[in-house]
Structure 1
Amino acid sequence: MASNTDLSKLVIWMVFLLHSLGNGLAGGRNITTEQSLQVKAYRKFLNRPAIKSIKTTNRDIFDCVDIYKQPALDHPQLKNHTIQMRPSTYLMETKNKTSTFEVPNIGLKNGGCPFGTVPIPRTQIKDIPMAGSHPRFGQKDDERNFPHHWAAMGMKERQSLYGTAAFLNVWKPKVQHDIQFTLSQIWVTAGPYPDENYIEAGWHVYPKLNGDYEPRIFILWTVDGYRSHCYNFQCQGFVQVSRKISPGIRIAPVTTYGGTQYGISLSIVKDMRSGNWLLLWGEDQSELIGYWPKQLFNHLADKAEDIQWGGETYGPLPFPEMGSGHFPEEGAGKACFINNIRVYNNPGTKRDLDPSETHTKTTAPDCYRSIVGRSEEGTYIYFGGPGGNCARQA
């Protein structure tokens, strides 16, 4: 387990580097020569030497980096870390229910990166945004600036939990400002307020982070209740393993109102042997995208205490859409959902979630709502809404 001292040193180092960048880059501000050099140094830290580069059809660039030279392994707790290349056998043998929805083929073409390398999204200098004097690269914006809203469900009782698997319906909700985001995710958590550990994974639309308004796979983790936290690869920790699917990759095609329903199957699971938290792709959990080593965490080092599923938005008025942009009462084909939800009560033992075990959290019912139930696709949550200027907030 990472000591508080080691984690504090890492956080202090990252905060110092980020805050030293000063004003600029966003909003057309000028920056000094020294600040420009610091930005370039940080970009060099993120962008490792590439053995090969892959440009996607939407002009994203993924650099194929030596798997042992990826940013994660700069973490002080991961010195001499041996990379876990595959899940424990029990996960590979576990079969999920067959979904009736479509799964977009989002992996990098031709098998992705060469063996021994992993895809890391390339960061351009223009991708390092600032907010006033405080840069916000790869981090959630300060909740004191604008509100976060949720339409989600979680477990009624805290208990020993070891992960979750689910199918996440994917849409392209509208956001009104670059600093807004809207997302659908699964997340596991442990620890007391205000020092919770969180691991999150799902899809989001977040133009400030990604430079566009497209839905993309994302991850986020924190060990101190979001006082320091990071998306994707913007700080050391998450170990990429897959050669073809990576956080930051665009999801296409997506669901349309009344049309074909597209979605992705994701799992966050505690590995029985290594103790790492795995991020798995697919209904059969056959693709290990990567993992968070157990050494990163204190409260999540052994198990989770709560799991949640649903949507979140952030930003100023008018609030962005969530999910399909329609309320969950409109139902199948018109509202966003997460279904086929399973939980792990013991390492390696997966079961269907019962709706009676859950409670819902809806913070702006005039903008977003949620409905929980059960169908042949397992337990589900329909959630979302049009956003806008909410008159009533919980």
Structure 2
Amino acid sequence: MSPPRPATTSSDRLPVSVDRPRPPPHGSPPSLDAHVPLQTPVRPSASASPLPFLSSALTAPGRVPQLRTTRAPHLYAMWRTRPGGFYGLRAEISMWGSPNQEYSQDSGASIQIYCQDGGHYNLIEAGFHVSPSLYHNRDVRFFTYWTKDFKSASCYNLRCKGFVAASGTALVPGQAITPPSSYGEYDHYIRLSLNKDPKSEDWVVYRHDLQTPSFLGYFPVEFCSGTPRIKALTGFVNYLNSTRGPPMGSGHFPDENDDDKTTAYFRHVKNYDSKGRAFEPITVNMAPFS
């Protein structure tokens, strides 16, 4: 029997100004290969329809800044805002593996916040990916990432100064997640948020598919302090020009049945305001992606 849908929380407002977690010790945190179990969702009602990944397309110059510039091409399916005064996003992200992915390739999905810093944008993000070159296997893993201007500095997980993991959290950057969704059989997801704490001004990451919101850690404010900002929900694949790219999500476009067991999605999307309160997104301000 499939486990029940995760319980919803009694409030859309997150705790703010939480006690600062202690930074983890230097080096990789322990037990990253101990898989964290996922929940199996019940099919949502029509009022909670998913936002499926769009068709993949190359990022056009001058639109959204290029990511991970050591690899090309970079293919994205992106739902993003125009630049503005934004404070974060929450979304339910479907989990898909990529068992045949080559060592040099990367695929996944994430919540992204771009913050203007002078004449360029910095990026912070949290999500899930398959990256054999980073972990030496093809497990689906929770990850965090930041980059300053997309060329001078960047870092995954806890490998250098940046994201600070909460003490005792059950989901650490780099942690393996299991099982992923299986095409036509079952649908697995995790619900994450990345938003600006109204008092500390740090960018906090929570997991929301448990009985109560679980604080996973934060990006210090200096990693994303400028405005205007762009927020985005993004599926991505990165690979070398000499190789065939891996699938994005399930590797299939949405069909007329809108079946969660066959299509990758972002669902139950929420925006955050300056006081840390979640609210329904207003999609009329979303920029077309082409």
Short-chain TM bin: 0.7 to 0.9
TM-score normalized by the length of structure 2? 0.72
Question: Which of 184, 187, 191 does residue 109 from structure 2 map onto?
Answer: 184
- Does structure 1 retain, via aligned residues, the 8 Å contact 2:33–2:176? no
Q: Partner amino acid for 1:341?
A: V
Question: Which of 120, 127, 135 does residue 202 from structure 1 map onto?
Answer: 127
CA distance, structure 2, for counterparts of residue 220 and residue 168 of structure 1: 17
SS in 2 for 1:183: strand
Using the TM superposition, give the Cα deviation of residue 159 of structure 1 relative to its aligned residue in structure 2, in angstroms: 1.4
Question: Which of 238, 243, 260 does residue 314 from structure 1 map onto?
Answer: 238
Question: Which of 266, 278, 285 does residue 338 from structure 1 map onto?
Answer: 266
Unaligned runs of 5+ in 2: 1-24, 45-66
Residue 160 of structure 1 corresponds to 85
* Superposed counterparts of 1:49-64, under 5 Å: 54=31, 57=34
Question: Which of 2, 23, 42 does residue 100 from structure 1 map onto?
Answer: 42
Residue 358 of structure 1 corresponds to 286
Distance 1:101 1:246, change over 3 A: farther
CA distance, structure 1, for counterparts of residue 230 and residue 212 of structure 2: 21
- Does structure 2 retain, via aligned residues, the 8 Å contact 1:193–1:225? no
Unaligned runs of 5+ in 1: 1-43, 61-98, 103-139, 363-394
TM-score normalized by the length of structure 1? 0.54
Q: Deviations along 1:79-103, whole A, 9 cap, x unmatched?
A: xxxxxxxxxxxxxxxxxxxx6369x
Q: Partner amino acid for 1:46?
A: G
SS in 1 for 2:289: strand
Distance 1:226 1:187, change over 3 A: farther
- Does structure 2 retain, via aligned residues, the 8 Å contact 1:173–1:325? no
The structure where helix makes up a greater share of residues is 1
Question: Which of 189, 195, 206 does residue 269 from structure 1 map onto?
Answer: 195
- Does structure 1 retain, via aligned residues, the 8 Å contact 2:32–2:172? no
CA distance, structure 2, for counterparts of residue 360 and residue 347 of structure 1: 28
Across the two proteins, how many residue pairs are aligned to each other?
234
Q: Partner amino acid for 2:194?
A: I
Higher-Rg structure is 1
CA distance, structure 1, for counterparts of residue 228 and residue 216 of structure 2: 20
Q: Deviations along 1:180-199, whole A, 9 cap, x unmatched?
A: 10011110111168631111
- Does structure 1 retain, via aligned residues, the 8 Å contact 2:32–2:174? no
Structure 1 consecutive aligned stretches of length 4 or more whose deviation exceeds 4 Å? 53-58
Q: Partner amino acid for 2:42?
A: T
Q: Deviations along 1:122-146, whole A, 9 cap, x unmatched?
A: xxxxxxxxxxxxxxxxxx7534x42
CA distance, structure 1, for counterparts of residue 228 and residue 165 of structure 2: 22
* Superposed counterparts of 1:204-223, under 5 Å: 204-223=129-148
Distance 1:336 1:54, change over 3 A: closer
Q: Partner amino acid for 2:180?
A: V
SS in 2 for 1:209: helix
Question: Which of 214, 233, 241 does residue 287 from structure 1 map onto?
Answer: 214
Q: Partner amino acid for 1:245?
A: L
1:46 and 2:24 equivalent? no
Distance 1:176 1:216, change over 3 A: closer
SS in 2 for 1:328: coil
1:323 and 2:249 equivalent? yes
Q: Partner amino acid for 1:212?
A: N
Distance 1:154 1:197, change over 3 A: same
